[in-house]
Structure 1
Amino acid sequence: MLALDLGARRIGVAVSDSDGRVATPIVVVERHKDRPRLHRELAELVAEWDAELVVVGLPIDLAGELGPAAQGVLAERDELAAVLGVPVEVHDERMTTRIADRALRERGDLDGRARRKVVDMMAAAVILQDWLDRGAAGEAPLEEEPTP
């Protein structure tokens, strides 16, 4: 599996091991204005890592609502599904960037600028690990819009 944390400036990317047990951050892709080209670049990562499924973090707000950011991710998920050639699912990403940032701060070996460069791929790894853990526990991943 491959996971994407679709940020406004950067896209964090993580991948699972072949057994689908452990998520590993791999790269941060800088967004640019050519969205079709950006999506082709992500498709190249899917092919490079032989991913059979892509999990996209869905930024549901703390109240469980779908705000403008979540609506944007759902729209981009649909665009990605048309390009990537594999199923694309969404997964609740509440707090993942905060969790990733806290973990990086605790390591203490990165300053603020360096941390900002890797936090997105760490967040993608948190999203994917949560998705893997929930799947392993028999819980269905979030596939559509949540119901409050």
Structure 2
Amino acid sequence: MGTVRVGVAMSDPTGMLASPLETLRRAKDESDLDRLAELVVTHDVVGVVVGLPRHLSGASGASAQDASTYALSLTSRIGDVPVHLVDERLSTVTAASHLRAGGIPSRRQRSVIDQAAAVVILQTHLDTVRASGGRHL
């Protein structure tokens, strides 16, 4: 989750595969949170994953606090749908690597990098849950 844009990804109903959905611009009036809440309802979402930016050392900083506050604000808008904070370290680097491997040049990545990072974060979470024998979101 960024301070300027928020990439949005969704999984298939089985919780196996994450796909990009859209990119939202963070807004002072919190209309981005309203849009996320709308997406939760429209797509019958059963759980939300919010990236928690940590330093490479694992320590939390101001960005992690911002993500936690954002997740709390989203929670108040979506009722009983759980919100999970998930470590997003290196998600943008991984996403950029995947985009390059897919033939998308660096200059064209800007418009989709947030969605691609959201896919990495969600897919990592889905894989972790599945590996631990848990049920998807």
1:38 aligns with 32
Match for residue 143 of structure 1?
none
Deviations 1:1-46 (A, max 9, x none): xxxxx211111000011011111111111222211x2211110111
- Are residues 1:12 and 2:3 paired? no
Structure 2 letter corresponding to 1:48: T
TM alignment of 1:1-148, pairs within 5 A:
6-35=1-30, 37-85=31-79, 86-112=81-107, 114-138=108-132
SS at match of 1:117: coil
The aligned residue for residue 145 of structure 1 is none
Distance 1:29 1:108 in 2: 24
Q: Offset of 1:75 from its aligned partner?
A: 1.2
Q: Secondary structure at the match of 1:84?
A: coil
Q: Deviations 1:84-110 (Å, cap 9, x if unpaired)?
A: 221111011110011001111222234
Distance 1:111 1:63 in 2: 27
Q: Deviations over 1:38-74 (max 9, x none)?
A: 2111101111111011010101111010111001111
Once superposed, what is the RMSD of the aligned Cα atoms? 1.4
Q: Aligned equivalents of 1:23 and 1:134: distance in 2? A: 13
SS at match of 2:7: strand
Q: Structure 1, unaligned stretches of length 5 or more?
A: 1-5, 141-148
Which SS does the other structure have where 1:83 is aligned? coil
Separation in structure 2 between the aligned mates of residue 126 and residue 109 of structure 1, nearest angstrom:
16
* TM-score after normalising by structure 2: 0.91
1:55 partner SS: strand
Identical amino acids, percent of aligned pairs: 41
C-alpha spacing 1:72/1:126, structure 2 compared with 1 (3 Å):
same
